[in-house]
Amino acid sequence: MSALRLRTATTLALLFAAVPASADTLYVDANLASGANDGSDWANAYQGSDGLQTALLAAVSGDEIWVADGVYLPTSGASRTVSFQLKNGVEIYGGFAGGEASVNDRPAFGVAPSILSADLGGNDGSNVYTDNSYHVLNGQSTNATAVINGFTVRGGNANGSGNNNKGGGILCLPGSSPTVELCRFEDNRCTFGGGAGYVNGNPTFTDCEFIDNQGGSFGGAFDIANAGSVRFDRCWFEGNRAARAGALEIFSSNGVRVTNSVFKDNTSTSSGGGGAMWFGFSQNCVVVNNTVVGNTATSNTAGGLLVSSTSITVANNIFWDNEGPGGAQNSANQISGTSSVSYCIVEGGFGGTGNLGTAPSFVNAAGDDYRLAAGSVGIDAGRNSLVPSGITLDKAGNPRFWDVQTVPDTGNGSAPLVDIGAYEDDTLPVSTSFCYGDQLGTLCPCGNDHFPGTPEGCANSQGWGGKLAASGSNVYANDDLVLTVTQGRANQPSMIVQGSVAISTVFKDGILCMGNPTERVEVVFLDASGSGSTVTSILTGGNVPGPGVTRYYQAWYRDPAISPCGTGSNFTSALQVDWL
């Protein structure tokens, strides 16, 4: 798995936010071998592979359970019918290293993995799954207050009869509506439907990953049947397999919503089709702002999305490189069975409003980076009104609506226009030029405005105006802002200065554009072309910037030859940097 998919800082901050530990916090540490084993604090946490089950039995509504890294089993015995039963009002958080004082002190997801395993016999490494639990998690009779966050769910094998042939990772029968966040479901399987999960209720899955699950007949990751408002948002589906619907099967359901998610390398292995998704006999379902790439249907059309006997909203998605039988990648193997498609990028083209047939251009598809590259036709090309209410973040946890000012708005709605696909290009101008050209006009002290309207300062003795440009990023923590002077005076020193307010006052041969106070940042020696640059963290002076702070930058440079006003120095144009 790429680091990109796990690096969701904004998302993690939202999901990890919680109150500090209280008397209603129960602690679990499978690796602990000392203490009272009563769950009262980290030193006395519930111990062993069955420590989480002990905590669940003790927990009542209002409690939180904090679980350290380690492997946890549903039972210390051999009964395959035992699962981790979620509870209303009980929030279960995994991924602790141990010793943390609040949920948001946890390390990044995956650093200290808390694994919920169905491997009762400890023999999954030998590919023996016949003694595994049928289901790792059970959401029976839960509502949204039953929360599980920060776990890897692994090895469920629903190969029994009745409901024990469904949902190896999680079983959500009618009346099951838990909240599942930041969890990874991997290597779960079943014989009927839903390797990662079988759903008749209304659960929500946010920031989850579903990897290499096997769904038997229906839904490599999920079989959703006769369900309601199931939600998948900011999820990743990869390597899942089933006879029909490689990742998601939605059958006879009302109100399922799939948003801001990536589907990659999922496979339908039989005539059912739908390498990534299959929808049938459903209504009021939404597939919006997803990236569906490289999925396969080996025996039927539509390696991407197949819709049967239903009508769903399909908008702002990317369908590309999905294959049907024999590797065909025409439009019918991207989407089949529906004409209600708009503002999507579809390989081979697809009739409908706002649809595009041009390659989406990803940052690095080979490295699982499906963000839109600069210049992608998907930037600012979606339809705002088709984004479901309440969707404010993209797959990476960045703002879902963002205007890239250098790109024409080709979508529908008022700026900022949503992008097509799971990721929003949130490129900001690193800086904004000001205090130049027409903005200076006759302010240049001796009529030395070079070309009015161009982003440069007042003219110097070499006949042009100095420029200051920025590259790198305006993300303060990145510490990679590069400030570059061009068209200064050749072979002379220059000094980058910073201010906290924008002003405009004559100083020497140019215009000083910032102040209150004006502080030196860096000295740069200009070369024979009058250019020079510096990577600077902008940390000098007493008015240090930071996230959410705006600062103004300009370069002063010597001009000892006969300068226009005879003062011997000048200023470049100025930049405004809005630090993030």
Please say whether the dihedral angle defined by the alpha carbons of residues 160, 165, 168 and 174, taken in this order, is positive or negative: negative
Under the banding of pLDDT at 50, 70 and 90, the label for residue 194 is very high
Task: Kindly tell me if the per-residue pLDDT of 18 is higher than 80.
Answer: no
**Percent of the chain at pLDDT above 70?**
91
What pLDDT, in 10s, does the model give residues 449-466? 755 556 788 888 888 888
CA proximity to 222, closest of 178, 265, 266: 266
> What is the CA angle 204-47-132, rounded to 5?
55
Average pLDDT rounded to a whole number, residues 280-303: 95
Dihedral sign from CA coordinates of 463, 466, 472, 474 = negative
Contact 317, 421 (CB under 8 A): yes
Query: What residues have CB less than 8 Å from 174, skipping those under 6 apart?
Result: 200, 201, 226
> Residue 144's CB: how many other CB atoms inside 10 A?
12
CB of 472 within 8 A of CB of 430? Answer: yes
Domain residue extents for the chain: 217-427, 432-578
Q: Is pLDDT at 223 greater than 90 in this prediction? A: yes
Position 547 confidence tier, pLDDT thresholds 50, 70, 90: confident
Say if residue 66's pLDDT is above 50. yes
User: Above 70 in pLDDT, residue 173?
Assistant: yes
Write the CATH number of the domain with boundaries 432-578. 2.60.40.10
Lowest mean pLDDT among 14-23, 64-73, 363-372: 14-23
Angle, alpha carbons 394-92-219 (nearest 5°): 55
Burial of 408 (0-12, 13-18, 19+ CB in 10 A): exposed
pLDDT of 137 above 60: yes
Provide the β-strand partners of residue 426.
Answer: none
Q: Return the SS3 of 377.
A: coil
Lowest mean pLDDT among 18-32, 201-215, 314-328: 18-32
pTM: 0.77
Dihedral sign computed on CA atoms, order 63, 56, 153, 95:
positive
Question: What's the pLDDT at 535?
Answer: 66
Task: State the chain's maximal CA–CA distance in angstroms.
Answer: 93
The predicted-structure confidence for 139-153, as pLDDT tens digits, reads as follows 999 999 999 999 999
